[in-house]
Structure 1
């Protein structure tokens, strides 16, 4: 992989109101979900990363090893995920002016691993597509990589829109990676019970 300046944004700001506890700290396979996500970056080269926090940030900071990732707090996290994504992107662009692409990650997709993230970046370089994303459950979504030309579109999303809008609006410039287990995320107590009961999402 060439020396492309890649930024990674881990979105971990939500309150997890439906779950009833901070999903960032939910334990799975003897590790909390946010720590698992951060640890997957160990396999990536030539990347910079930032974790965007919001609700429960003090509790989370005390229980996470952020390693080489920066951590920032989105004071407007209650506006939604796009607000946190934009906060992370602003931080990366300010601190790394040569940034050429950005990868978006959630902290509650327990089956995302370093191998998948490497495939996304490799496909982005190989295909020269502007966006590389994952496909699962008859839809597309994150993890996803967006080239610099889509930064403006990400900033233009309103609070109720997600990065999926940018993906769906630019399908002619899109490469998809099949990732069935991407459908597994943790939003409710039932999701957590399914995960701990061995549900694989495949």
Structure 2
């Protein structure tokens, strides 16, 4: 078990993939969907509980992640903050740190998650740094995730940053994580770079 004393994990996968020909979660790397890949990487950390937050296309995506606890977010269109809030509610009262990952980072790999755990000592959150940003994946103290219920309406990764505002999180740099999949142009660029199947 990577986390000393255990940890929970959350995969945020509720996005609607507006403008893409198919749900972003169904795009593949080596035949494995981005959703299945994100769940596999989270499972490899041996979490005590693993939640997958689904929203858009939930009915068709749920069969891809059997063996996990699915949390449905009916207000997914309001942004990632609502998914964080659903996860916080589902894990309320638990004392474990929580690994939070997203589906749209094709460059995420096991070694980066290992570095997050290596940097975590319980005194602060450990987040990912890429470019000028801090964001997911992140290893959050339980009290940080509990703040998620106050973030409704906060857009994008700003919701993550609010969780550790003023708390001076530790950061593990991996600039490749700045490559995200959200637009047709992102998909085309990732295919050209060999990061997604064509």
- TM-score above 0.5: yes
- Correspondent of 1:104 among 100, 107, 114: 100
* CA distance in 2 between partners of 1:46 and 1:61 (Å): 20
5 Å-filtered alignment, 1:73-112, equals 73-93=72-92, 97-112=93-108
Equivalent residue, structure 1, for 2:66: 66
Q: CA deviation at 1:151?
A: 3.1
| RMSD, matched Cα | 1.9
Match of 1:160 among 151, 154, 163: 154
Distance in 2 (CA, whole Å) between partners of 1:89 and 1:149 is 10
The answer to whether residue 138 in structure 2 is matched with residue 141 in structure 1 is no
Q: Count how many residue pairs are aligned between Structure 1 and Structure 2.
A: 191
Whole-Å separation in 2 of the counterparts to 1:194 and 1:130: 35
Q: Unaligned stretches of 5+ in structure 1?
A: none
Runs of 4+ in 1 over 4 A off after TM superposition: none
Unmatched 5+ residue regions in structure 2?
none
Q: What CA deviation, in whole Å up to 9, does each residue of 1:25-72 have, x standing for no partner?
A: 11222211001111112321343210000111111123x1433x2112
Hey, what's the Cα distance between the residues in 1 that align with 2:163 and 2:110?
Answer: 24
Q: Normalized against structure 2, the TM-score is what?
A: 0.87
1:6 aligns with 2:3: no
1:118 corresponds to 2:117:
no
TM (norm. structure 1) is 0.85
